[in-house]
């Protein structure tokens, strides 16, 4: 799988991933803009409002009927955080024409439909459709309020908020309910115009693609301006230093407590991100990892015990579901594991299996259509670009000394515990 | 080997029933890096009472044994945990238990045959001791507790509680902390020896394979076992009527969750696949993204997202599930009921029917994008007595008349229940 990349206008790039593995073609359009407190909630609302209706598709029902007729093409809009950027995402997946019972041209229809929804919104008197904005505001309010529903994820979000207080990365990608009161059809449309004018645009197409597809896209974007996009490289170095770990405990009416520990990796050597990936796999990335083995298997303290590495911010997050009363014990065992990493208490087999599991994930990227797009988009946002083979090579080259060196620069920043309220009795 | 080809989606399955009774299905996928293998036994949480084929003795087991057994299979006599071995090989291994089957699987890019050695070794060599069984109770206890805080799971379990009075589908797959406390190694060995016989199992592989070669590799790794007759499973007699109309529970959620369910009975001679397709079409017509009722509920703020629409069935149960979030589930319940009555009286509009059929077609084709989904789908369908290609084969036989009839048969008000999870405030 290879990517053909063409900047069709300054700040607007088309990426083609030619593959015959899938029954579908996948079209994605991403808008990347710096994450800012004053824009975060507006931006979260924009994709939702756009896919509700456009100038030529007046209602959501019309759009959905069109998608049905396109053999259940799937349209989706969403929002992600990529380093210190906020990314507005649009997806349209449709069947490849060769699997249709009747002749059709679904890729053309998809390109037309998505560009219509994004660039030709329903506007009257310099305002979005008020009904759509109000409806989507309510929906966003429920998404934001709903972050408490998934307890493990909520604990994770809270830990990040505490670690990145008053910084872009600490912002919740869906924004804040208190902003919603100020948002109306007019000021939202103004934000949209700025976004369309200034942000970085990436268009991805994966599947069996006709030769003239780039020209088609160029034609569709004829009237879209060039831009000097102001996005932030996702691998920008950050000045971090060791701090006294913060411990935060919060109560909720839950049976199982969620423990999240946010760690800083305070090292800025070249290629350290590959070292950190291997470090993380040994610590908590696989079922043979130290955390899984010691917190779950040996101590029987938890059903879940794992860690993940956040490349863009150089953090590791440890997550466990435990009984509240076992908090100190679990924390102690986790700290022991971090100490063992520092002392180099892991062997060549641990390193080998950690590398294997990372490489296997990389190798499978071409087998999933959206994964390929996510990979190349990640490369697009970082300052250095790299294909799968180079990536694999970097992982293979990591040595034990490098991992141990890195371990000495890993420090706990925040310990966050979401616990069941203390009740009288046997809790 | 039997070759079943489907030209619509352009895929083939190679199928063989081995001498020892094991069914193997191979779905070759050229140029994929990933290789996926899944080995399942027809033993799930529903199978709580059965006759031991060797002695003819009937036994009743505590709730949660199938799932407990799944957890314990990884432990080997030499102290090694097979999950660790597979993980060291760089393959992603896992296992899961449903109400009608238990499955062991891995996906790999490299070291496939070493991993296959390990998989087929541990599934064929159980090792249970009093000590390792006791230890697992702590881990599974945490898993059960984790689901106590899962609003979606509680919603589903409560709906089952309303639909069924005796059917073991109403029991949590993992059992309860109380029921698993009664599990010991004898129970586990009894169940293992009964249900992990090749004649009660099936294996599916998907990836870039030569079918003959991979079949031989599988055969070479099988341990010979004495023949075993059919397992007689005993299920309680379940009335056709529901047990309870409504249930409501309070949990820490921001927005109420609802599940509307219809109890259905699958006739042994009925074409399950055809019925499933018709019900999927009906669900989309009633409350799918392009339906008038969804539009109305969305505009009035009662639904903010498309609800989940599902027909769930095995050999022992069948029901329709409609679930989502709403500030007022009663409104959804009432309007849906009215919409069903309206459609029954007036019949389904032909244009809508054809449009939704197109959508369903796309969904069936798209299922063949992912190696892991293909393998899991073929295994799960196999234990229901279905070949997954049947959905594409039966698609054209689903007519408007048939769908109208299914609407009348299945969406019956007396067979409907409502489960709600409300927030604290």
| HEC readout, chain B | CEEEEECCCCEEEEEEECCCCCEEEEEECCCCCCEEEEEEECCCCCCCEEECCCCCCEEECCCCHHHHHHHHCCECCCCCEHHHHHHHCCCEEEEEECCCCEEEEEEECCCHHHHHHHHHHHHHCCCCCHHHHHHHHHHHHHHHHHHHCCHHHHHHHHHHHHHCCCCHHHCCCCCCHHHHCCCCHHHHHHHHHHHCCHHHEEEEEEECCCHHHHHHHHHHCCCCCCCCCCCEECCCCCCCCCCCCEEEEECCCCCCEEEEEEEECCCCCCCHHHHHHHHHHHHHHHHCCCCHHHHHHHHCCCCCCCCEEEEEECCCCEEEEEEEECCCHHHHHHHHHHHHHHHHHHCCCHHHHHHHHHHHHHHHHHHHHCHHHHHHHHHHHHCCCCCCCHHHHHHHHCCHHHHHHHHHHHCCHHHEEEEEEECCC
Q: Is the dihedral of CA A310, A159, B93, B31 positive or negative?
A: negative
State the Cα–Cα distance between residues A220 and A202, nearest whole angstrom: 14
Tokens representing A32 are 């990347």
**Residue B252 designated active-site:** no
Contact between residue B97 and residue B88 where contact means Cβ atoms under 8 Å apart: no
Q: What are the pLDDT digits (tens) for A197-251?
A: 999 999 999 999 999 999 999 999 999 999 999 899 877 777 788 889 999 999 9
Q: Is residue A17 part of a domain?
A: yes
Residue A276, classified by CB atoms within 10 Å of its CB into exposed (0-12), middle (13-18) or buried (19+), is buried
Query: Angle at CA B254, nearest 5°, toward B248 and B258?
Result: 35
Facing residue for A288 by CB, picked from B31, B84, B305:
B84
Tokens representing B159 are 């709906």
From A220, A237, A264, give the residue that closes a domain.
A220
Whether B221 and B297 share a structural domain: no
Predicted TM-score (pTM) of this structure: 0.91
Whether A377 and A272 share a structural domain: yes
Query: Angle at CA A107, nearest 5°, toward A106 and A111?
Result: 115
Q: Is residue B412 part of a domain?
A: yes
* Residue ranges of chain A whose pLDDT lies below 50: 424-427
**Tokens 């698609």 label which residue?**
B395
The verdict on a CB contact (< 8 Å) between B33 and A286 is no
Of B70, B136, B238, B284, the active-site residue reads: B70
Residue to mutate among B6, B86, B359, B372, with most A CBs inside 10 A, is B359
Q: Is residue B241 part of a domain?
A: no
Contact between residue B199 and residue B20 where contact means Cβ atoms under 8 Å apart: yes
Phi-psi bin for B175: left (phi > 0), alpha (psi -120 to 50), beta? left
Whether B75 and B202 share a structural domain: yes
- Cβ neighbours of B371 (radius 10 Å): 24
Q: What is the pLDDT of residue A385?
A: 81
CATH for B294: 3.30.830.10
Residue to mutate among A356, A357, A418, with most B CBs inside 10 A, is A356
The verdict on a CB contact (< 8 Å) between B253 and A368 is no
State the Cα–Cα distance between residues A74 and A68, nearest whole angstrom: 9
Whether A273 and A399 share a structural domain: yes
State the Cα–Cα distance between residues A112 and B73, nearest whole angstrom: 53
State the Cα–Cα distance between residues B71 and B94, nearest whole angstrom: 10
Which residues span the domain enclosing B152? Answer: 2-233
Q: In what order do the strands lie in the sheet with A24-34?
A: A3-9, A12-18, A200-207, A24-34, A85-95, A74-82
Q: Is residue A225 part of a domain?
A: no
Q: Is residue B143 part of a domain?
A: yes
State the Cα–Cα distance between residues B236 and A406, nearest whole angstrom: 60
Q: What is the pLDDT of residue A426?
A: 37
Bridge partner residues of B38 (DSSP): B105, B204
Residue to mutate among A353, A369, A375, A421, with most B CBs inside 10 A, is A353
In chain B, the number of structural domains is 2
The verdict on a CB contact (< 8 Å) between A68 and B356 is yes
Whether A319 and A384 share a structural domain: yes
Whether A33 and A169 share a structural domain: yes
State the Cα–Cα distance between residues B425 and B416, nearest whole angstrom: 28
Whether A190 and A124 share a structural domain: yes
Neighboring chain A residues of B302 at a CB cutoff of 8 Å: none
Tell me which chain A residue has its CA closest to the CA of residue B6.
A99
From B185, B204, B233, give the residue that closes a domain.
B233
CATH for A52: 3.30.830.10
Q: Is residue A178 part of a domain?
A: yes
Q: In what order do the strands lie in the sheet with A302-310?
A: A246-252, A410-420, A257-265, A315-322, A302-310
Contact between residue B46 and residue B169 where contact means Cβ atoms under 8 Å apart: yes
Whether B229 and B288 share a structural domain: no
Q: Is residue A425 part of a domain?
A: no
Contact between residue B379 and residue B223 where contact means Cβ atoms under 8 Å apart: no
Neighboring chain A residues of B151 at a CB cutoff of 8 Å: 149
From B233, B256, B286, give the residue that closes a domain.
B233
Q: Is residue B239 part of a domain?
A: no
Whether A63 and A200 share a structural domain: yes
Q: Is residue B395 part of a domain?
A: yes
Q: Is residue B135 part of a domain?
A: yes
Facing residue for A364 by CB, picked from B33, B81, B142:
B33
Which residues span the domain enclosing A257? Answer: 246-420
Whether B204 and B289 share a structural domain: no
Whether B222 and B288 share a structural domain: no
Contact between residue B137 and residue B175 where contact means Cβ atoms under 8 Å apart: no
Tell me which chain B residue has its CA closest to the CA of residue A95.
B362
Whether A168 and A299 share a structural domain: no
Q: How many CA atoms lie within 13 A of B262 on its CB side?
A: 23
Q: CA-CA-CA-CA torsion for B84, B86, B92, B97, nearest 10 degrees?
A: -80
Q: CA-CA-CA-CA torsion for A139, A145, A150, A153, nearest 10 degrees?
A: 100
From B200, B233, B266, give the residue that closes a domain.
B233
The answer, yes or no, to whether ipTM is higher than 0.85 is yes
Q: Is residue B193 part of a domain?
A: yes
The verdict on a CB contact (< 8 Å) between B289 and A101 is no
Q: What is the pLDDT of residue B341?
A: 97
Q: What is the pLDDT of residue A212?
A: 93
Q: What percent of chain B has pLDDT over 70?
A: 100
Q: How many CA atoms lie within 13 A of B100 on its CB side?
A: 16
Q: What is the pLDDT of residue B425?
A: 67
In chain A, the number of structural domains is 2
Contact between residue B119 and residue B106 where contact means Cβ atoms under 8 Å apart: yes
CA distances from B251 to A144, A316, B146, B417, B420 (A): 18, 31, 14, 20, 10
Whether B197 and B269 share a structural domain: no
Q: Is residue B43 part of a domain?
A: yes
Average pLDDT across each block of 10 residues of chain B; the chain has 425 residues. List them in order. Answer: 96 97 97 96 97 92 97 93 90 95 96 97 97 91 87 96 97 95 96 96 98 97 91 95 97 92 90 97 97 93 92 96 96 98 97 97 97 97 96 96 97 98 86
Tokens representing B65 are 């044994």
Cβ under 8 Å to A: B residues 262-291: 288-290
Residue B21, classified by CB atoms within 10 Å of its CB into exposed (0-12), middle (13-18) or buried (19+), is middle
């Amino acid at each position: 799988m290879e990517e053909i990349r063409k900047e069709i206008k300054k700040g607007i790039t088309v990426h083609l991933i030619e593959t015959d593995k899938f029954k579908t073609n996948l079209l994605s359009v991403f808008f990347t803009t710096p994450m800012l407190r004053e824009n975060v909630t507006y931006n979260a609302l924009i994709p939702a409002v756009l896919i509700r209706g456009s100038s030529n598709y007046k209602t959501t029902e019309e759009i959905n009927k069109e998608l049905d007729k396109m053999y259940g093409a799937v349209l989706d809009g969403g929002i992600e955080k990529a380093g210190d950027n906020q990314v507005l995402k649009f997806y349209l997946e449709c069947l490849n024409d060769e699997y249709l019972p009747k002749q059709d041209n679904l890729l053309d229809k998809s390109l037309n439909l998505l560009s219509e929804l994004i660039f030709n919104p329903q506007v009257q008197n310099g305002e979005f459709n008020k009904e759509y904005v109000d409806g989507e505001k309510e929906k966003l309010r429920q998404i934001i309020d709903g972050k408490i529903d998934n307890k493990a994820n909520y604990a994770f979000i809270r830990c990040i908020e505490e670690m990145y207080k008053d910084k872009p990365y600490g912002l919740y990608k869906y924004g804040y309910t208190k902003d919603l009161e100020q948002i109306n059809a007019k000021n939202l449309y103004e934000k949209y115009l700025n976004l369309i004018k200034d942000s970085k645009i990436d268009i991805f197409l994966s599947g069996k693609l006709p030769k003239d597809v780039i020209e088609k896209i160029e034609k569709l974007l004829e009237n879209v301006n060039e831009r000097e996009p102001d996005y932030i490289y996702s691998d920008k170095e950050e000045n971090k230093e060791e701090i006294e770990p913060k411990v935060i405990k919060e109560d909720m009416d839950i049976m199982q407590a969620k423990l999240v520990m946010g760690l800083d990796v305070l090292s800025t050597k070249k290629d350290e991100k590959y070292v950190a990936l291997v470090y993380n796999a040994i610590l908590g990335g696989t079922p043979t990892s130290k955390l899984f083995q010691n917190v779950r298997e040996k101590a029987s303290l938890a059903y879940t015990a794992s860690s993940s590495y956040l490349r863009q911010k150089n953090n590791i997050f440890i997550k466990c579901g435990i009984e509240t009363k076992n908090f100190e014990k679990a924390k102690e065992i986790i700290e022991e594991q971090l100490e063992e990493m520092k002392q180099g208490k892991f062997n060549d087999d641990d390193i080998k299996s950690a590398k294997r599991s990372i490489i296997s994930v990389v190798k499978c990227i071409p087998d999933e259509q959206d994964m390929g797009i996510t990979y190349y988009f990640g490369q697009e946002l970082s300052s250095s670009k790299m294909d799968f083979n180079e990536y694999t090579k970097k992982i293979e080259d990591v040595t034990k000394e490098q991992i141990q060196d890195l371990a000495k620069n890993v420090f706990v920043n925040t310990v966050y515990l979401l616990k069941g309220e203390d009740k009288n009795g046997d809790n | 080997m039997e070759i079943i080809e489907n030209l619509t989606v352009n895929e083939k399955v190679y199928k063989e029933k081995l001498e020892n009774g094991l069914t193997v299905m191979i779905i070759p996928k050229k140029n994929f890096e990933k290789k996926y293998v899944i080995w399942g036994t027809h033993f799930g949480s529903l199978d709580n009472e059965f006759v031991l084929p060797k002695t003819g003795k009937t036994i009743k087991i505590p709730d949660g044994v199938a799932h407990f057994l799944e957890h314990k299979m990884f432990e080997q006599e030499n102290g090694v945990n097979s999950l660790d071995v597979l993980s060291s090989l760089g393959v992603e291994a896992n296992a899961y238990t449903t109400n009608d089957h238990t499955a062991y699987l891995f996906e790999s890019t490299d070291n496939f045959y070493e991993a296959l050695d390990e998989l087929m070794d541990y599934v064929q060599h159980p090792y249970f001791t009093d000590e390792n069984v006791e230890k697992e109770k702590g881990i599974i206890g945490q898993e059960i507790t984790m689901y106590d805080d899962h609003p979606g799971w509680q919603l589903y379990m409560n709906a089952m509680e309303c639909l069924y009075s005796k059917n073991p589908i109403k029991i949590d797959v993992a059992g309860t902390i109380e029921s698993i406390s009664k599990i010991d190694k004898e129970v586990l060995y009894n169940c293992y020896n009964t249900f992990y016989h090749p004649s009660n199992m099936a294996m599916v592989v998907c990836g870039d394979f030569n079918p003959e070669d991979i079949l031989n590799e599988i055969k070479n790794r099988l341990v010979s076992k004495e023949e075993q007759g059919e397992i007689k499973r005993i299920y309680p007699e379940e009335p056709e009527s529901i047990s309870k109309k409504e249930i409501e529970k309070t949990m820490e959620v921001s927005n109420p969750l609802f599940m509307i369910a219809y109890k259905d009975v699958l006739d042994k001679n009925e074409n399950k696949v055809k019925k499933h397709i018709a019900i999927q079409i009906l669900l989309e017509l009633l409350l799918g993204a392009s339906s008038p009722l969804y539009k109305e509920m969305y505009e009035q703020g009662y639904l903010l997202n498309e609800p989940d629409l599902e027909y769930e069935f095995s050999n022992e149960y069948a029901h329709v599930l409609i679930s989502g979030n709403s500030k007022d589930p009663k409104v959804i319940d009432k309007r849906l009921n009215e919409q069903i009555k309206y459609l029954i009286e007036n019949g389904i509009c032909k244009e809508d029917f054809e449009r939704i059929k197109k959508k369903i077609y796309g969904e069936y084709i798209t299922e063949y994008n992912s190696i892991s989904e293909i393998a899991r789908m073929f295994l799960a369908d196999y234990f229901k007595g279905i070949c997954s290609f049947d959905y594409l084969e039966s698609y054209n036989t689903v007519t408007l008349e048939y769908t109208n009839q299914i609407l009348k048969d299945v969406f019956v008000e007396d067979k409907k229940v409502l489960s709600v999870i409300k927030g604290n405030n």
